[in-house]
Amino acid sequence: MFSNHVTNDLSAYCTGELTAERNREVAEHIIACAQCRSEYDEIKVGVNLAQQLPVETAPPEMWSKIEAALQSGPAIQPSSRRAFFWRPQFAAIAAAVVVVILIGVWVSRNRQIQPAGPAWQVATLNGRPTIGSTQISGRGELAVGQWLETDQNSSAQINVASIGQVQVDPNTRVRLVATKPTEHRLELARGQMSARIWAPPRLFFVDTPSAVAADLGCAYTLIVDNSGSSLLRVTSGWVALELKDRESVVPAGAACQTRPGIGPGTPYFEDAGAEFLTALTEFDFDSNPAEKSRALTRLLQTSRVKDTLTLWHLLTRVNGDERRRVFDRMTSLVDLPADVTREGILNLDSAMLNKWKEKLEFYWVSGTVDPKAKKDLKSGRPFSLWPKLKEAVRNVGK
Ligand SMILES: [Zn+2]
């Protein structure tokens, strides 16, 4: 499927050396190609590490020690000279020298290619938004650390480096936290913003008071209210909402709420039934264990095949008998893949959980009918293949 992998351009992509057009081609390829994406992830880790290393000059004693070690050479018999080079001390010094040289080369190379002042272009859409304490009309620049604020009559659009756009709606406060080749980060303190990002996964982040939204190649809307709670609605691709060890992965058509002190709730499809949605909110954010348990029963009863998005996330958030009930409801809706066992899932075997998720993603993304469920995913009504087959045959004849 992919004849033109972008492997050769990945490190240049990571350090911002490509032209804007090539940058976008590489970004789009990485979103679709798992092979290049995994290579990119590895390169990104290396670049991140190198960026955090301070540049140090080697102390003079180090060189004199190396010289002394080399000058002690004549004392070593030719037959044992080879042994000298394999001594641990020499190997350690040699390795340190190589690392210092490599870091030096990397840093000096990247000094030249980094863009000068990190700032994002802002265009006014309505009214007079402010950047810092200055009102802007037309265009402006948002530098790292600065706040962009809109009142009830103003809105703005931000160009996120070369990787996407963010629309800032009225009554919103956002701050540019960081912008570098391996990470672009905004903070949304309150209000509403919509993002459209065409970068590879995990390059664009939005901090909110109760979770971090990590872009996985997507378009989405994020709303933060005055209490610090937020609502994420994804319109294309995937977004991950994270707080500490809790992660909710949200595909297009789905949404997820967050609360201060709790973090991300469980993701759900917005076309789920009203009873399912009410029960899920109670389960996620009610503090009374008995209420939670009753809510879980109701949401399991009213779940559809597509709602396995919610149930899959619940597997790791409930224990004991509740986990068994979630599992049983899931397997009544969809089959377990080969090599995935009941015992493995109940023990939260991460490889098995991921394998099952990969199979479920097909239903989440395509909305395809699962034969086992015999229900139409859109209407939730019992589904029969026969009328569709007849219709298809009729259409072929036309
Ligand atoms: Zn590729």
Kindly report, residue by residue over 214-234, the tens digit of the pLDDT: 988 789 999 999 999 999 999
- Average pLDDT of the residues in 126-139: 95
CA of 1 to the centre of ligand 1 (A): 9
Look at residues 151, 161, 259, 203 and name the one whose alpha carbon lies nearest to residue 44.
203
Kindly report, residue by residue over 8-25, the tens digit of the pLDDT: 988 888 777 888 778 777
| Per-chain mean pLDDT for the chain | 81
Q: Indicate if the pLDDT at residue 263 is higher than 50.
A: yes
Residue 298: pLDDT band with limits 50, 70, 90: very high
Q: What is the pLDDT of residue 40?
A: 83
How far is it, in rounded angstroms, from Cα 199 to Cα 181? 11
Tokens 């149930």 sit on residue: 311
Q: Indicate if the pLDDT at residue 373 is higher than 50.
A: no
Find the length of the chain: 398
Residue 112: pLDDT band with limits 50, 70, 90: very low
Q: Which of 273 and 107 is assigned the larger pLDDT?
A: 273
CA of 39 to the centre of ligand 1 (A): 9
Identify the top-confidence range among 19-23, 61-65, 169-173, 374-378. 169-173
CA of 41 to the centre of ligand 1 (A): 13
Kindly report, residue by residue over 66-92, the tens digit of the pLDDT: 667 666 654 444 444 444 444 555 555
Q: SS3 of 264, please?
A: strand
CA of 152 to the centre of ligand 1 (A): 45
Q: What is the pLDDT of residue 104?
A: 46
CA of 38 to the centre of ligand 1 (A): 9
Instruction: Assess contact for 235 and 254: CB atoms under 8 A.
Output: no
CA of 5 to the centre of ligand 1 (A): 4
CA of 11 to the centre of ligand 1 (A): 14
CA of 232 to the centre of ligand 1 (A): 30
CA of 32 to the centre of ligand 1 (A): 8
Contacts of 264 (CB under 8 A, 6+ apart): 210, 211, 241, 242, 243, 246, 247, 248, 256, 257, 258
Residue 261: pLDDT band with limits 50, 70, 90: confident
Neighbours of ion ligand 1 (CB under 5 A): 2, 5, 33, 35-36
Q: What is the pLDDT of residue 4?
A: 82
**41 to each of 47, 160, 202, how far by Cα in Å?**
10, 20, 9
CA of 34 to the centre of ligand 1 (A): 7
Give residue 147's identity as a one-letter amino acid code.
Answer: W
Contacts of 266 (CB under 8 A, 6+ apart): 248, 256, 280, 283, 284, 310, 313, 314, 317
CA of 200 to the centre of ligand 1 (A): 12
Residue 198: pLDDT band with limits 50, 70, 90: confident
How far is it, in rounded angstroms, from Cα 251 to Cα 270? 11
CA of 2 to the centre of ligand 1 (A): 6
Q: Indicate if the pLDDT at residue 313 is higher than 70.
A: yes
Look at residues 316, 308, 325, 324 and name the one whose alpha carbon lies nearest to residue 348.
316
- Average pLDDT of the residues in 166-189: 94
Residue 202: pLDDT band with limits 50, 70, 90: confident
CA of 351 to the centre of ligand 1 (A): 24
Q: Residue 33 has what DSSP assignment?
A: -
With left for phi above 0 and alpha for psi between -120 and 50, is residue 53 left, alpha or beta?
A: beta
CA of 26 to the centre of ligand 1 (A): 9
Q: What is the pLDDT of residue 130?
A: 97
CA of 7 to the centre of ligand 1 (A): 7
CA of 371 to the centre of ligand 1 (A): 33
CA of 251 to the centre of ligand 1 (A): 22
How far is it, in rounded angstroms, from Cα 169 to Cα 195? 11
